[in-house]
Structure formats: structure tokens, C-alpha cells
Structure 1
């Protein structure tokens, strides 16, 4: 079993990264292969909107995304963590998301939209607190997971606001993360 963990924060010890590590621990303990990818460590060009992928079902750009495509297609679970940047994710993570357009083109043309045995999970933290602050990023992640043919449950997504006023992760969020990890371990091992 393989989990791809994509970290979207520039801070490897920030709130979203620490929550992501909490999510990964149970998988490691059960012997899952865990591939950690840090978006800020990669050299990934933004999508050029050239339509090459529409015709060729692949991307003409050759950069670190080439390895990410393989990891995405091999993974049973893809977990993503990110801080909230203007109702979205930081640009290095957004570049990864946008560049998966070629996978969407490939799956759509091949009629391969039924991989319910692959799952997506999302963690997002925000420094502020205001009504509906995670609505935009939640919608984007729904489209992303659908585009790369993953099953997901939005109610499992973990959102933590007001982190600018926190020193440590709230215990109830760690419990929520542990519950989600247990759920996905069960789903993967039962498939």
C-alpha cells in the first residue's frame, strides 16, 4: 500500500505540516510505503495552457512534475496539507494541482473514472478566523481529487482556523486526524 503525502507549506514544521505528519504516522506503523513531497522543494513550472495534454494525454514540460505524475498514479491515498493563502493554496502547490490537467485528459479519454479504491484527503490551516474562510480551497480540492480520479469525503477534510493565535495544535484536531487515518487504513486494506 502506498500513500503520497504532498506538503504545501513553506514551513516544514508549521501547523499544516505537523498535522500532516500526525496523519502519516499510523500508515508508517502499519508498513505502508510513504512518499513525502514538499512542494517548495520542487522545480515545477506553471501550466502553459498550450493544450498539448488534450492531444497527447501528457505534459510537454519536463521538470520535477514528471516524477509526481508517477507517484500520483501509483498511490492508494493522496494526502495534501496546506496553509490557506487567499482562499487557496500557496503557488508551488497550486502549480502541482494545475499540472494534473494532463491526468484528467488521460482518464477522461480512456473512460477510467471509477477508481473508488483510491482516496484523497486534505488538511488546511489558516491564521485568521472568519465565516466560510475555507470554502474556496475546499471547492478547489474537490475538483482536484475528482480530476485525478480519487474518491474522497469532504466531511473528512481537516480545517483549522485561528492558527496565528495558537502555540500548539488543538487536541480535538489531532483526534480528528487519527480518526481519519484509521478510516482510510480500513478502506484501503478492505479493498
Structure 2
């Protein structure tokens, strides 16, 4: 019989709690201070753990940054998968997934800063490659749904991958406008209205004439 309440399991649970607190604190710090402005000492203070505790989980700031980004992108992938697995049409799935992607950006200042053009990020090629793979998986989810919508005659033929990249770039760009220091600051309300208007216009332009469906 497996023992679940012994000293070892308590240590594991405490370690898992500390790790979650460290990631939460790091996410907040990267969001407010950026990559270059974040210090391990500040993360430890926010998480109410020792600096040594942070280093027991992550060897350096690059690893911590990757863990924060990876956790958020994994959640995003899960939320998008749920939208794409619904019983509605591929076009409606794409719209629902777009709304889920927007909510992810709205609720995560770290990710908005992460995709902002003026962001300083780790120089590690391995970290950039791993994050790029996560982002590419999101693009693939959207392009697959667009292909299905085209096959069913719901939208006019387009290059599905380019359309997926366009949609994601548009969401990223609008949300980056809510934090960009060199542009007129967009409010979240204005961002939502802008994206809703763009969605309406795009769907109208891609919908085949009634006689061609």
C-alpha cells in the first residue's frame, strides 16, 4: 500500500507549494519589471521563500523565465484545445479560440510584455527555441481549424497558416498597445472593441456569397 502522509510526501507537497509561489512571484516580477529588471532576490521576497529555495528549483533567471512562459503557454494550449474540440462549426471554433487567446493576454501582463516588440528576453537560443515551439503549436491549432472551415465551405480559400499568423499577430499587436510606452495607450475596453470590430469585418470578408456556399 502506498503511503501518502509520510515525511517524504509532506516534503514533496511543501516543495510543490513553494515552486508554485515562486512561479507566481516571478510572473508578477517579469510583468512589472521586465526580464532585465527582475532579480532572483526580488522573486524570493515576493514568494516569501529564501533565495536558496528559488535556486533549488531553477539554476538561473533564464530557467525561471522559461518556466513562467512555459506554464502560461501550456495553460493557453489547454484552453485553446477545449475551444477547438467543441461541437460547433470550425469557424465558430476559431472565433471561440480567438476569444480564449485574447483572455489569456488580457489576464497575463507577463505574456503581453513577452510578445511586445520592445521586450528584452533571455539570450539563450535553447530557451527561445522551446518557447517558439509552444507558440508554433498554437499557430497550428488555428490553421487546422481554418483548413476545416475552408473544406466545409464556411469561408473563402486562404493560406491557413498565414491567416493564423495574421490573427495571432493582430491580437498580440493590439494587446501590446495596452502597455507600449511610445504609443498612445490603449485601454482594455478599447482593445476589446477594436478586436470585436476587426473580427466582424474579417468574417464578412471571408464568408462566401450565399450562392457559392
Q: Does TM, scored on the shorter chain, surpass 0.5?
A: no
Task: Flag the structure with higher strand content.
Answer: 1
- Structure-1-length-normalised TM-score: 0.28
Task: Flag the structure with higher helix content.
Answer: 2
Higher relative contact order (CA 8 A, sep 6+): 1
Q: Which has the larger radius of gyration?
A: 2
- Structure-2-length-normalised TM-score: 0.27
